[in-house]
Amino acid sequence: MQLALVGLVLTTLFSLVSPLWTGIAAFGMVLFAGHEAAQRQERRLSGWWSYGLGTGCMMMSSVLVTVFALTTALRPNPWYDPRYAIPLLGMILGNCMTGISLGLDTLTTSLVNRRASVEAQLMLGAPREVAAAPVTREALRSALMPVINSMSVTGVVSLPGMMTGQILGGVPPAEAVKYQILVMFLIAGGTGLGAVTAVLGGVYRLTDGRHRLRLDRLTAANAI
């Protein structure tokens, strides 16, 4: 049912080739991904930060990387052609969502677990960036690890769906491989940029200008 509806929407979108409708579809995808990322957090930031931080970082990184790919590598005419823009954004956004979600979840969990250590450093006069550095590092590592793992095994262990689909659709395998490499690089870039901005934003929110740890800005939520 869901896929049949998507098929109908994409058919209409591809026939319109309108920047407005392509933008609206992209915006809808980002909002939904942001909602899903926020739902996966064991401990959420309070208020709009819970939804806004992940969604904002996801939008910034995935749109930046997609527009870069459309204007420099793929160069369809027009550059916002939804036949290229929407699937590319979807692939980047899906991986970006996983990275940001893992990064923020690790950040909040580690800050709660290492509260004493972080607060001890803050009391000794360390600025918040320094006190939270080990936690930031751990969060960023867990955000980037899935992308590096999937890059390492692509072609040997796994044959990505996009490439298989292209081959089944009649594209020569050598060309499908080039597309897959391009997409993997874009995913790595989008996830890296998104995770760094989201984790740094999370650190900024969970500390304050007087270099105090503000775990009261977290609300507990059930993990799914």
Partner 1 sequence: MASYIALNYWELASASVFVFIDAGLSVIFRLNLHRSLFVAAIRMRCNWRSSAWC
Binding site for partner 1 (CB under 8 A): 65, 68-69, 72-76, 84, 136-137, 140-141, 144-145, 148-149, 151-152, 154-156, 166-167, 169-171, 173-175, 177-182, 184-186, 188-190, 192-193, 196
Nearer to partner 1, 156 or 224 (CB): 156
Q: Which two tokens stand for residue 15?
A: 């026939």
Rounded CA-CA distance 141/148 in Å is 10
Nearer to partner 1, 44 or 190 (CB): 190
- The CB-of-165 to partner 1 minimum distance in angstroms stands at 11
Shortest reach from residue 187's CB to partner 1, in Å: 9
Q: Based on CB atoms, which residue is closest to partner 1, 180 or 207?
A: 180
Using CA atoms, how far residue 100 sits from 124, 145, 153, 211, in Å, is 31, 12, 22, 24
**C-beta of 190: minimal distance to partner 1 in Å?**
8
Q: State how far the Cα of 140 lies from the Cα of 199, in Å rounded to an integer.
A: 7
Q: Which residues have CB under 8 Å from 138's CB, separation 6+?
A: 106, 107, 110
